[in-house]
Structure 1
Amino acid sequence: MTKSSCETVEQAARLAGHTDALPPPACRAQEVPSYMREVYDWAYVNPAWVRWLDHNAVVKTLLFGNDRRLMRRYLSRIQPGMRVWQVAHVYGDLVRLAAERTGEHGAFDLTDVTPIQIAHGRRKVGHLPWARVIRDDAALHKPSGPQAYDLICSFFLLHEVPDDWKRRIVDNMLSQIPEHGEVLFVDYHRPSRWQPVRYILHWVNRLLEPFADALWQHEISHFASNASDFEWHKETIFGGVYQIVSARKKQR
């Protein structure tokens, strides 16, 4: 990581008004995975792009108008008082809506590995006493305290990480849930051949999303080391473009 990159991260945190997201002298930006800097700097690291992209209208456009439909699949599972972990920041108002739905008797943890995403997350939910925004790796994060999470959600994260990261993230998410808990994945899927969006996404994946094709080729359970220990349920929408996959521990 160059000095200029470190300065970019520091400037992003200062502009967002969150000095607690500033990198230390050694430059915490070095902890950002290399694929993020090499592939997704324009989308998630560069503060100029992040400020432009973090709007509901952009999310609606990128998801071909399915944003609210997909968000409801997640939000409908949150009951007041739950302990919820969202594994990465999401553009638009989803983070705020999920945290508000969790309520003051619950707990909402949002993690992300990128300082500018942490800054944007804190701007959205930092005023809620029960919400925490934590700079952490989705493949390593553990809940604080003895209580496990009731619901863990990955909302359009897996298609953006290399396959080895997919496995680590999925395994870590599954390892956190108790007997009653649920892990939810909302992400891309292999579209039906009749779906015109299939051909648009084919070129988007080739040009901008090099890790997304894995979700066209494999079920999400493929990335779980102990998939047989869980009950998996998959729903697809919009001609197979999107999938909503739930995993729960099998009852013994």
Structure 2
Amino acid sequence: MSSKSKPVLSSSIGKKLIMSLTGLFLCTFLVIHLIGNLQLFKSDDGYAFNNYAYFMTHFTPIKVVSYLLYASIIIHAVYAIVLTMNNRKARPIGYKQYDGQSNSKWNSRNMGILGTIILVFLATHLQNFWWKYHNDQVPYVEYRKDLSTGAITTYELQAADFTEYSVITDNGVEVTKARNLYKQVDFAFQNIGLVALYVIAMAALAFHLIHGFGSAFQTIGFNHKKYVPIIRFLGVWIFGIIIPIAFALMPLYFYFIK
């Protein structure tokens, strides 16, 4: 007598594997996104950041990766919800009566709450920046950069004076016209409520990654004792501390310093 085996990807292990792979892909994106967003700290009126924003939204390979990113966020969130519901069905007794609670860390028991905070943050982030940038709801700017000295002069543009992103050189001066996402960032981060949300979300991201990064490698079977200390170091110090703090500093910089 034979029975049909459950497909791997629909099993509990399969779902965890998909969550791990999508989670690690999102971690890779965090590094790239942080490197680009560090341009916000430059004292150039957004020249570097606005050029970076155009490149990230118009370079075809990056656009393809961005679609994979959106899909990964959705898949990661959906599978997290499914796994959480399945775990609750399999363990009807609450955590307070669960013998393993004392051996589990707070962030591992509350990944659902942390993930929900991050999802709210992502929706707010995309609405304030991604949506407005792609729907022509940000200001326009012209930069004139003296190629001999590197000095940059900034001019605000009216909608009638802007057609599309362009870079031309005229008599030793580089003239760049672009959507001014930098100014939108500056405007958005004058809202203390939005700044608070970003800081709280980055704290949630920190706890989420401290547990999730190492857990993902364990799920995919990459848990050799030789590499575990390196994975733990990356998960705690790089993804759990440095990256969230760097992202949190951006809204704080614009609200308190800029």
Greater Rg, structure 1 or structure 2? 2
Question: Greater helix percent: which structure?
Answer: 2
Larger relative CO (CA 8 A, sep 6+): 1 or 2? 2
TM-based fold match above 0.5 = no
TM-score by length of 1: 0.27
Q: Which has a greater percent of strand? A: 1
TM-score under structure 2 length normalisation: 0.27
